């Protein structure tokens, strides 16, 4: 999975998602070269959910089934 910035440049290539206790750990490379692990804690996940509106939550649920942009 790739995560992009607003200008469509690649920020992070996620190669592995795993559970570590109560946390979710994303492992990958930042800017294509630098290895990195990012941790999502339960507190951060709850803070993320507070940011979602019902409309954005619906979009997030349907996102995997939408067509991607043509290259």
Query: Which of 30, 26, 35, 25 is closest to 4 using CA atoms?
Result: 30
Q: Could you give the number of structural domains in the chain?
A: 1
Percent of the chain residues past pLDDT 70, beyond the cut = 97
| DSSP for residue 35 | E
Cα angle 6, 7, 12 (rounded to 5 degrees) comes to 70
Summarised one tens digit per residue, pLDDT across range 30-55 is: 988 899 999 999 999 999 999 999 99
Is residue 27, in this structure, part of any structural domain at all? yes
Q: Would you say residue 70 lies in a domain?
A: no
Is residue 71 domain-resident?
no
Residue-number span of the structural domain to which 23 is assigned? 2-64
Q: How far apart are CA 49 and CA 59, in angstroms?
A: 14
69 part of a folded domain: no
CA neighbor of 16 nearest in space, from 29, 30, 1, 27: 27
Q: What is the mean pLDDT of residues 52-67?
A: 94
């Amino acid at each position: 999975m790739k995560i992009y910035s607003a200008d469509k440049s690649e920020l992070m290539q996620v190669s592995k998602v795993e559970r570590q206790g109560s946390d979710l750990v994303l492992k990958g490379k930042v800017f294509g070269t630098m290895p990195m692990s990012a941790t999502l804690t339960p507190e951060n996940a709850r803070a993320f959910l507070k940011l979602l509106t019902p409309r954005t939550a619906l979009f997030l649920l349907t996102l995997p089934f939408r067509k991607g942009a043509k290259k």
